[in-house]
Structure 1
Amino acid sequence: MIKSSTTIALVPQITYGPWIYWHDLEKGMEKASDLGFDAIELFTPASDTIAIDNLKQLLQKFNLELSAVGTGAGKVIHGLTLTDQNPDIRKKAISFISDMISFGAIFGAPAIIGSMQGNVLAGNDREKTLFWLAEALEILGEKAAEAGTFLIYEPLNRYETNLMNTLQAGVEFLEKLKTKHVKLLADLFHMNIEEADMAESIRSAGSYIGHIHFADSNRKAIGLGHTEMDSVAQAIKSINYSGFISAEAFPEPSSDEAALQTIQSFKKYFR
């Protein structure tokens, strides 16, 4: 069964971005539970931001699951990416993500590699940069498997990375890896920019998709932009997707309104 998820950002250095709830973990979880969400996706500064026992108690209290954990704070706070020219920085990036994998795996949740993938920087060799990315995903994919979960790699739009921008590019890259424990994140906002046909891209990627970000063309909650969701929802169901659909969307007009719009849209298309 496809499950709903909303996002909670707990990174003090960030005051705005595509997350529904902010700063107050328990209050965000309470509101998500009251609206009927199945899970939360967390964006935290580090793997030890939240005490494990505390999170376990809160998830049980509000009858929620942990759908995924973001790793973007590694770049935002520490400037770490998996494709930095400096091998020491690449090593630190792998260590940061490895810790996030271990944290999420306690709750059966995968870690997401988005902004920490980095870019091919001006004057750099693309082939070498992609080698560094593959090298890191091989290590981290196996780390996730050992922890009992999988790793999520997210193709981003061209304004955020020049590595992989489409699901097809992501599939082709993953097919070359030895590890079989890395899946793709289908982010509807990024796909709206990059994909010629969002529904067909989802069908083609099929079982490679391990997580979905639910955001409209303007990165607001689904229903507040111009994304044509009927065909997209049909495509998601056609590949027998059974993971989480998580609202990585702006908290507009407010967090509460964005959350309500999201859960109403989720029920419309997936219930």
Structure 2
Amino acid sequence: MKLGINLLCLTDFVTEDHLPVLRRLKALGYDGIEIPILSGEPDHYAWLGRQLAAIGLERCATAIVPTPDVSPIAADTETRARGRAHLNWALDCAIALGAQSLGGPMHAPIGHFTGSGPTESELNYGAEAHRDLAQRAENNGLFISLEPLNRFETYFLNTTTQCRNYALRVDHPAFRIMYDTFHANIEDGNQVAAFQTVAPHVGIVHVSENDRGIPGRGHIDFANIFKAIRASGYAGWLTLEAFGAGLPGIVAATRVWRPLFPDHETLFSESASFIRQTWAVAE
């Protein structure tokens, strides 16, 4: 197991000002960082990758589909083309970063709804775009980890059964699913069974409490979820995902209006201890 942390708890764009915090994360025992790619250019992420390598932190990355006009599943051909260009921009940045994976909800615009579930055409458009992206990722030594979201954030991928079926539809070895305990807590009745459903396709696990605060302080049954994850043979990233209050770039999507942890030091240290200790006894 590798212990990671998604930096959206801190910022939506990592700069030189954040390097002291990144050094602190390394000192606390984190193996790597999941970098949000919401803006910027590949040159910036190449610089950031060099900084993280010097600190001794491995890299993954996450991205989103920000608006309907860059949706890779849109009915309109030109919109889909812009969506594919957006996905390729995110992958360019991830490659420059030296990331092992590019993940996140890169399937449909967050917070945009049609009034029904995904159509067969949308599923096919998405699968085609993600298959091409996975091939390009594989050519550059990465894999894709697509993240489902709960029904209040997207209509495209919600349950682990949908994720399993979508992974089979994409059918590419570099295409995987990001399992997120927060979203599964809403959409799947039993997280042990849910993980078992999608286990062969999981690329990264997001460890996220029911309120998106510090893992172990809420009601998610991490002990049994971790047992199921270990039993599957998964030994990849366990990545903390928590959210601070009012980050301008993500507040509209996450609906985080209040502080979910007392301070970053408490979040970082308590979460690292909880995840490692819970994993160690999950046999």
Q: Which residue of 1 aligns with 2:166?
A: 173
Task: Name the amino acid aligned to 1:112.
Answer: G
The alignment status of 1:220 with 2:210, answered yes or no, reads no
Change (3 A) 1:124 1:175: closer
Offset at 1:222? 0.6
Q: Map of 1:155-194 to 2, 5 A cutoff?
A: 155-194=148-187
The alignment status of 1:20 with 2:12, answered yes or no, reads no
Q: Which residue of 2 aligns with 1:141?
A: 134
Change (3 A) 1:127 1:21: same
The alignment status of 1:71 with 2:60, answered yes or no, reads no
Give runs of ≥4 in structure 1 deviating > 6 Å.
none
Offset at 1:5? 0.7
Pick from 112, 124, 142 the counterpart of residue 103 of structure 2. Answer: 112
Offset at 1:261? 2.0
Moved more, 131-140 or 96-105: 96-105
TM-score, length of structure 2 as denominator length: 0.82
The alignment status of 1:270 with 2:279, answered yes or no, reads yes
SS in 1 for 2:170: coil
Offset at 1:116? 4.3
C-alpha contact 1:250 1:258 (8 A) present in aligned 2? no
Q: Map of 1:1-271 to 2, 5 A cutoff?
A: 2-8=1-7, 19-22=8-11, 23=14, 24-46=17-39, 48=41, 51-66=44-59, 68-72=60-64, 74-75=65-66, 80-106=70-96, 107-114=98-105, 116-118=107-109, 121-122=114-115, 126-251=119-244, 252-271=261-280
C-alpha contact 1:75 1:116 (8 A) present in aligned 2? no
**CA distance, structure 2, for counterparts of residue 35 and residue 108 of structure 1:** 21
Offset at 1:52? 4.7
Unaligned runs of at least 5 residues, structure 2: 245-260
Task: Name the amino acid aligned to 2:114.
Answer: L
Change (3 A) 1:145 1:47: farther
Offset at 1:80? 2.4
Offset at 1:123? 7.9
Change (3 A) 1:89 1:197: same
Offset at 1:161? 1.3
Change (3 A) 1:42 1:52: closer
Task: Name the amino acid aligned to 1:242.
Answer: A
Change (3 A) 1:244 1:123: closer
Write out per-residue CA displacement over residues 99-155 of structure 1, whole angstroms, 9 at most, x where no aligned residue.
Answer: 322332352421114054236624897122222211211211211111122111111
Aligned residues: 257
**CA distance, structure 2, for counterparts of residue 125 and residue 163 of structure 1:** 5
Q: Which residue of 1 aligns with 2:257?
A: none
Q: Which residue of 2 aligns with 1:12?
A: none
Offset at 1:37? 0.5
C-alpha contact 2:72 2:107 (8 A) present in aligned 1? yes
**CA distance, structure 2, for counterparts of residue 221 and residue 50 of structure 1:** 33
Cα RMSD (Å): 2.3
**CA distance, structure 1, for counterparts of residue 78 and residue 214 of structure 2:** 39
**CA distance, structure 2, for counterparts of residue 222 and residue 79 of structure 1:** 35
C-alpha contact 1:21 1:28 (8 A) present in aligned 2? no
Unaligned runs of at least 5 residues, structure 1: 9-18
**CA distance, structure 1, for counterparts of residue 153 and residue 217 of structure 2:** 23
